[in-house]
Chains A and B, each alone.
Chain A
Amino acid sequence: MRYIDEYRQKQSIRQLAGEIQRTATKPWRIMEICGGQTHAIMKYGLQQLLPESLELIHGPGCPVCVTSLETMDLAISLASRKDVIFCSFGDMLRVPGSSQDLLAVKAAGGDIRTLYSPLHALDVAEQNPDREVVLFAIGFETTAPAHALTACLARERGLANFSILVSHFLVPPAIEAICASPKSRIQAFLAAGHVCSITGYDNYHELSRSHCVPIVVTGFEPLDILDGILACVRQLEQGEHRVENRYARAVKAEGNPQARARLEEVFEISAQTWRGVGPIPFSGLTLRPAFSALDARKRFSIESRPESDNSGCLSGAIMQGLKKPHDCPHFGKRCRPEHPLGAPMVSSEGACAAYYRYRKRSTADEY
């Protein structure tokens, strides 16, 4: 397929990896923010092509993994109601709540529909006027415009039985929190290309300047990821730190103006709790007052009881780049994709699931 196959060619991948080998003279630690990139790094065995002293650290960029326990418990209690049809991305069904997951609710007769596009939830609402339809809107800046447009259309169509459980996360405040942590080991960041195709990257300049870190906007194919790493290494070796766009085929400096305007209309920035990590100021989105009629939290006025996570899952440390999945005593033992203890084992973009799936790969020759 065009725009995919040419970025997966073994010869080009090896050539770029060779250039990284030649360029890196010191040990460097680079974090890829996005779980999609983590997945590609494991799938294509990219770490094995890099100098041993160059460490890739996996970031918090998997919305399935960071959705808070409190929000999961809310989702589970909404999905359990007889009057509710609960619409969700399929990945969320296996994320553990405090006592069960959405899959268990479905097995017990809960009406849970997995959707490809959030717009389909509007059709479900139209077809079921006597039921309450709740859309579980999770994601980063990449997904938020889809939910914003869905909210606008729901309002335009006057759907009185439709509401949204919003669990949205913003990436730059998480980078800021990682940089500000005294425990941080990260020297450069690969910024998630598709987040930037919405937001652009103007807001990264200040982050790069104030924390002296290169930030390189990077795509998702193996060649893209190596190209992003090469740009980071070149800057690090030169003692430079600036924002660079290596995914210009899909990202403009200003992002997507239509999507940004729609986000601005529907959402406002709020505090958000990241599972395993804790609260990060200004790192989430909530519906603006003009859209509060669509807010499932208000419509159902459910009390949320913050529960603590007793599963023994290390997801917080993993998502801040402090630990790797095989540092977790449960990895591959009690915790496996068939019965995940923590969210990073659920989604294919979670670091634990990516490590588990590709754990047998020892060289990059197998694809």
Chain B
Amino acid sequence: MCLGVPGQIEELLNELPLERSGIVSFGGIRREVNLAYVPDAEVGDYVIVHVGFAISKLHEQEAQRVFLELERLASNGNPAEEEG
């Protein structure tokens, strides 16, 4: 039950502060989500959704960090392990 799943805001439905809500798409599956806790999230933004509430907006630049680190490791001569 504790799952938090990333999805993209497709549409805003309600702008009342407590009831701010929108349609969020999870790879095509669309659900109504409460957006009161991400007041600055707009259509197109990705959010983490937990029990029907967006709890956090995803930060694209931070999302790249681990991949930059992997590139750096690879260029230092530590590429992916061989399969098998």
Residue of A at shortest CB range from B33?
A117
CA distance A11 to B73 in the complex (A): 13
A153 adjacent to B56 (CB under 8 Å): no
A258 adjacent to B37 (CB under 8 Å): yes
Looking at the assembled complex, report how far the CB atom of A61 sits from the nearest CB atom of chain B, in whole angstroms: 8
B67 adjacent to A250 (CB under 8 Å): no
Could you say which residues of chain B place their CB within 8 Å of the CB of A194? 2, 4, 48, 50, 55-56
CA distance A249 to B60 in the complex (A): 7
A19 adjacent to B73 (CB under 8 Å): yes
Interface size on B, residues (CB 8 A): 40
CA distance A35 to B18 in the complex (A): 30
Interface size on A, residues (CB 8 A): 60
> Once A and B bind, how many residue pairs between them come within 8 Å at the CB atom?
141
CA distance A128 to B26 in the complex (A): 32
A1-43 interface bits toward B, Cβ cutoff 8 Å, 1 = contact, 0 = none: 1111011000110111111001000000000001110000000
Is A63 in contact with chain B by the CB < 8 A criterion?
yes
From A36, A249, A347, give the contact of B62 (CB < 8 A).
Answer: A249
Could you say which residues of chain B place their CB within 8 Å of the CB of A36? 2-4
B67 adjacent to A12 (CB under 8 Å): yes
CA distance A249 to B65 in the complex (A): 9
A118 adjacent to B67 (CB under 8 Å): no
Nearest 10 interchain pairs by C-beta: A117-B52, A248-B62, A1-B27, A3-B6, A197-B56, A249-B63, A15-B80, A249-B62, A18-B81, A194-B4
